[in-house]
């Protein structure tokens, strides 16, 4: 069947059209996305601003038209951290539904971590053994680990790259402020690190989504044009080498780096600090980059349910 997956993230609204059936990898057929940057359209009370609401409604309406044009039988719609954490979340989604007819589900942070883990498990397979997965989004950091397709542990932290950029990097922090930000990030991650560490040895550690892909590209991994099957990784030593350089760069200089889009330059340093903290705290020399992430997890779970329904 042809599915449309509407992902309302903290940075981007993304409709991915895929051809999917039980027993096969989802095959991307079309992609439509816009930089909504909802994490940056929050007012002082934590509500999504009217500008953000209007942008989300307009994008959703266009996504419906695209899905229809591309022949989608079904559209799966979900929102992550920016909408999930907004004080006016229900009102925002009600307005979008009234304007477009689309009811967007809000994914809890634990479900976001669980579905991302499912996608990474399917990509690397059972040979990965006990798998740990890290995902830095715009609004949150997801961590999950386990030996099966459902993680043993899965949790979400408010350490997304856009969230940190808005809260701590609106003005360039000085050395002492940067040290305080770094310390706060690490204490937040370390608080629940035992969930993963006590569960046993990690055989393979992976990272996914745009922030990790950009950092890996900066640190020398293959460009996206080489295709998804090329192995990519983010080495901790190389990331540590780059962080002082990234801190010292202007937005224009950051935009010239491979893998960095101009709209995300302000998120590179906070994302790098979160990535470094994850690798340090969980004693990981490198993270393998997985091309599949949350959207693929949502698709795979839907295919699995269809397979059960159609089974004997």
pTM for this prediction: 0.94
| Fold agreement between 2-107 and 109-294 | yes
- 135's tokens: 């995902």
Which pLDDT score, from 0 to 100, does residue 207 have? Answer: 98
Class of the CATH-defined domain 2-107: alpha beta
Q: Looking at residue 107, what DSSP letter applies? A: P
Tokens 């055989």 locate to: 203
Rounded distance between C-alpha atoms, residue 6 and residue 33, angstroms:
9
Listed in order, strand segments (DSSP E) in the chain are 2-8, 13-19, 27-34, 74-79, 105-106, 131-136, 141-146, 153-157, 204-208, 233-235, 286-290
Q: What is the pLDDT of residues 212-233, one digit of tens each?
A: 999 999 999 999 999 999 999 9
Q: Any idea where the domains of the chain sit in the sequence? A: 2-107, 109-294
Cβ proximity of 287 and 202 under 8 Å:
no
Rounded distance between C-alpha atoms, residue 265 and residue 284, angstroms:
26
Q: What is the pLDDT of residues 86-113, one digit of tens each?
A: 999 999 999 999 999 999 999 999 999 9
Rounded distance between C-alpha atoms, residue 134 and residue 120, angstroms:
10
Topology at the third CATH level for domain 109-294: Nucleotidyltransferase; domain 5 (3.30.420)
Q: What is the pLDDT of residues 37-88, one digit of tens each?
A: 888 888 888 899 999 999 999 999 999 999 999 999 999 999 999 899 999 9
């Amino acid at each position: 069947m042809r599915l449309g997956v509407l992902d309302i993230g903290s940075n981007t609204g993304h409709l991915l059209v895929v051809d999917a059936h039980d027993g096969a990898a989802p095959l991307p057929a079309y992609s439509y996305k816009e930089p909504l940057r909802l994490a940056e359209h929050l007012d002082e009370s934590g509500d999504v601003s009217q500008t953000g609401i209007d942008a989300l409604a307009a994008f959703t309406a266009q996504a419906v038209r695209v899905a229809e044009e591309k022949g989608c039988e079904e559209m799966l719609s979900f929102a992550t951290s920016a909408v999930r954490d907004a004080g006016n979340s229900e009102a925002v989604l009600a307005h979008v539904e009234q304007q477009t007819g689309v009811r967007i589900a809000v994914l809890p942070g634990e479900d976001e971590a669980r579905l991302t883990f499912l996608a990474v498990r399917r990509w690397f397979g059972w040979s990965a053994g006990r798998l740990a997965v890290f995902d830095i989004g715009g609004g949150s950091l997801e961590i999950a680990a386990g030996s099966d397709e459902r993680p043993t542990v899965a949790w979400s932290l408010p350490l997304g790259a856009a969230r940190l950029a808005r809260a701590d990097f609106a003005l360039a922090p000085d050395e002492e402020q940067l040290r305080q930000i770094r310390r706060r990030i690490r204490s937040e991650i370390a608080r629940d690190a035992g969930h993963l560490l006590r569960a046993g040895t990690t055989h393979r550690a992976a990272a996914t989504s745009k922030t990790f892909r950009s950092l890996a590209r900066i640190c020398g991994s293959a460009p996206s044009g080489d295709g998804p099957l090329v192995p990519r990784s983010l080495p901790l030593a190389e990331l540590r080498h780059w962080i002082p350089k990234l801190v010292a760069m202007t937005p224009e200089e950051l935009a010239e780096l491979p893998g960095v889009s101009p709209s995300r330059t302000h998120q590179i340093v906070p994302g790098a600090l979160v990535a470094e903290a994850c690798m340090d705290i969980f004693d990981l020399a490198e993270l393998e980059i997985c091309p599949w992430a949350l959207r693929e997890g949502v698709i795979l779970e839907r295919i699995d349910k269809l397979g059960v329904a159609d089974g004997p």
